[in-house]
């Protein structure tokens, strides 16, 4: 069996970009939630400890400097995580969207009258069992159609042809 290499990573752009957006939203939400909670507890602990150790110390100025420094670093980490997530989501979704695209394309071509070509998927693609089931279904259907054509060609009375055709579709 020939190896299939992906030529395009964005096959069904609306679906892949939609899933990426959803994934990115959840990642951002998680990062913001965990980061905010961690920051809140850490900062409160630092402020309390500084006020206990040195009541005359100006904690507001120190906290503002810490905030500015942390915002810059966290923005960079956040951007890197989004880029990594985008790459991973696109690569993963290619295993899902690619097979759906190939199955849909093969069925559409068959509907348009082109001969059915067996659906073949790559090793790590999703929906392999669906593709195999469609291939078996089409092979079975084509076999029955050929049997019907053979019965129609036979030189027997129409009533016998009808009975034979009914037998073919009972299976």
Domain ranges for the chain:
13-116, 127-171
Query: What is the per-residue pLDDT across 128-141, written as a single tens digit (0 to 9) for each?
Result: 889 999 999 999 98
Arithmetic mean of pLDDT, 55-62: 73
Q: Confidence band (pLDDT; 50, 70, 90) for 81? A: confident
Arithmetic mean of pLDDT, 48-61: 75
pLDDT at 93 over 70: yes
Summary mean pLDDT of the chain: 82
Arithmetic mean of pLDDT, 95-112: 89
Considering only residues 5 and 144, tell me which one the structure prediction assigns the higher pLDDT. 144
What is the SS3 string spanning the chain?
CCCCCCCCCCCCHHHHHHHHHHHHHHHHHHHHHHHHHHHHHHHHHHHHHHHHHCCCCCHHHHHHHHHHHHHHHHHHHHHHHHHHHHHHHHHHHHHHHHHHHHHHHHHHHHHCCCCCCCCCCCCCCCCHHHHHHHHHHHHHHHHHHHHHHHHHHCCCCHHHHHHHHHHHHHC
pTM summary value: 0.58
pLDDT computed for residue 171 by the predictor: 63
Arithmetic mean of pLDDT, 108-132: 88
Contact 119, 135 (CB under 8 A): yes
Arithmetic mean of pLDDT, 10-31: 78
pLDDT computed for residue 84 by the predictor: 85
């Amino acid at each position: 069996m020939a190896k299939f290499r992906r030529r395009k990573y964005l096959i069904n752009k609306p679906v892949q970009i939609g899933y990426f957006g959803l994934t990115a939203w959840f990642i951002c939400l998680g990062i913001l939630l965990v980061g905010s909670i961690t920051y809140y507890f850490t900062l409160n602990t630092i402020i309390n400890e500084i006020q206990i150790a040195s009541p005359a110390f100006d904690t507001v100025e120190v906290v503002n400097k810490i905030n500015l420094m942390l915002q810059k670093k966290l923005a960079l980490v956040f951007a890197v995580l989004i880029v990594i997530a985008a790459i991973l989501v696109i690569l993963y979704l290619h295993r899902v969207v690619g097979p759906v695209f190939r199955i849909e394309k093969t069925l559409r071509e068959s509907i348009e009258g082109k001969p059915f070509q067996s659906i073949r998927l790559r090793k790590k693609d999703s929906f392999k069992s669906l593709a195999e089931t469609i291939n078996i279904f089409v092979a079975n259907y084509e076999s029955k159609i050929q049997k019907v054509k053979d019965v129609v060609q036979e030189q027997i009375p129409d009533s016998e042809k009808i009975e034979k055709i009914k037998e073919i579709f009972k299976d």
